[in-house]
Amino acid sequence: MAANRVVLWRHGQTDWNVVNRFQGHSDIPLNEVGEFQAKHAAQILAGMNPTAIISSDLGRARDTAQSLADLTGLTVQIDEDLRETNGGLWEGKTGAENRAEDFQNFIRWIDGEDHPAGTTGERRSEVAARATKAINDALAGKDDQLLVVTTHGGTARCVLGHLLQLPISHWGVVGGLSNASWSIVQTNPRGWHLVEHNAGSIPEPVFGEESGAPAMPDWVK
């Protein structure tokens, strides 16, 4: 049986990414830079001959996925289980605002504790469970696949930590994904292994603490 490969592709840049504003389930569109990033990255991914594309239903991911579909002729299959972490009361606020208003909980969450984001949001374990189910469903009964999963930075880290069988407290050792960059995992007899991480067409910084970026200075609003 030939191995399956999964490309975890983060959406292009949004205005909220640039200012470290927690997006979560908020449906924030790609900005002009993000549209360019998605189209540029799609040219490289198309050359890998993907067999299927699945995507979060949020516009920033869906539009990123469509840039690849336009080149390959594949149809994007939408699955809301690939959404970003529900950030609860933190959504729409910057990292600086969340530190000021909910310091202890925000820092514990950033440091990797598996408690609900923003009090009313999701746990990392819940994000990993729903997103990996979407991936497993897409691969069910198939082999020799190259599945492109267009998703979000936080969700991608949760999936990687889960597939690589890391303790949740260690998922933070997996660096964040830059916008429109990707990681590749591949099946082997012992499970999954990481083939490539944070690859992309253009070197980019990682934006958004929810996606693994370092804290931004207080002067960034």
Q: What is the pLDDT at residue 40?
A: 95
Q: How far, CA to CA in Å, does 107 sit from each of 25, 112, 208, 214, 218?
A: 20, 9, 14, 12, 15
Domains of the chain (ranges, CATH numbers): 5-86+124-211 (3.40.50.1240)
| One-character DSSP codes across 68-105 | HHHHH-PPEEE-GGGPPP--GGGTT-BHHHHHHHHHHH
Of 40 and 216, more confident: 40
Q: What is the pLDDT of residues 134-161, one digit of tens each?
A: 999 999 999 999 999 999 999 999 999 9
Q: What is the pLDDT of residues 33-92, one digit of tens each?
A: 999 999 999 999 999 999 999 999 999 999 999 999 999 999 999 999 999 999 999 999
Q: What is the pLDDT at residue 156?
A: 97
CB atoms within 10 A of CB 169: 13
Say which of 11, 25, 152, 162 is annotated catalytic: 11
User: Quick one: which of 199, 139, 130 has its CA closest to 4?
Assistant: 139
Tokens found for residue 144: 């020799």
Tokens found for residue 187: 């099946």
Which residues neighbour 101 within 8 Å (Cβ) at sequence distance 6 or greater? Answer: 93
CA distance 160 to 186: 11
User: Quick one: which of 145, 131, 149 has its CA closest to 55?
Assistant: 149
Tell me the CA end-to-end span of the chain in Å, nearest whole number.
51
Q: What is the percentage of the chain residues whose pLDDT exceeds 70?
A: 90
Say which of 84, 91, 122, 209 is annotated catalytic: 84
For the full predicted model, state whether its pTM sits above 0.75.
Answer: yes
Mark whether 35 is an active-site residue: no
> Strand, coil or helix: what is 195?
strand
Q: What is the pLDDT at residue 210?
A: 62
Of 201 and 12, more confident: 12
Mark whether 84 is an active-site residue: yes
Q: How far, CA to CA in Å, does 109 sit from each of 27, 94, 130, 174, 188?
A: 22, 15, 19, 15, 32
Q: What is the pLDDT of residues 86-142, one digit of tens each?
A: 999 999 999 999 999 999 999 999 888 999 999 999 999 999 999 999 999 999 999
User: Quick one: which of 144, 158, 134 has its CA closest to 3?
Assistant: 144
